[in-house]
Amino acid sequence: MRRDIPFILLTGYGTLELEKKAFQEGAYAVVLKPVDVDVLLSVVTHAIIRREVDQAGPSDPLSSLSIDARTITMESRRLSSRIREALTNG
């Protein structure tokens, strides 16, 4: 598993043991089903930003971000429509 790509666990079985194991394996977040699209979108957006900050390095993490607010907004909208479609159509 690549540690530089954050993963989000979607599950219908939200036990403390499962969440603990997921975080030990490097999960960025655990989201319970049924999925609230806005919550999932927020988690994905934060994961993307966190990855960018982590890759920027410790000196000045905000100065070298390669992602801007417009990109995040566009990607969030694109992801939101795809997630809604997937949840609706299965």
> What SS3 string covers 17-71?
HHHHHHHHCCEEEEEECCCCHHHHHHHHHHHHHHHHHHHHCCCCCCCCCCCCHHH
Q: What is the pLDDT of residues 8-52, one digit of tens each?
A: 999 998 899 999 999 998 899 999 999 888 888 888 888 888 887
End-to-end CA, the chain: 26
Q: What is the pLDDT of residue 65?
A: 53
Q: Does residue 1 sit within a domain?
A: no
Average pLDDT along the chain: 78
Mean pLDDT, rounded, for 60-78: 62
Q: What is the pLDDT of residue 58?
A: 61
Q: Does residue 72 sit within a domain?
A: yes
Q: Which domain holds residue 40?
A: 7-89
Q: What is the pLDDT of residue 18?
A: 92
Q: Does residue 70 sit within a domain?
A: yes
Q: What is the pLDDT of residue 11?
A: 92
* pTM of this structure: 0.62
Among 71, 31, 33, which Cα is nearest to 52's?
Answer: 71
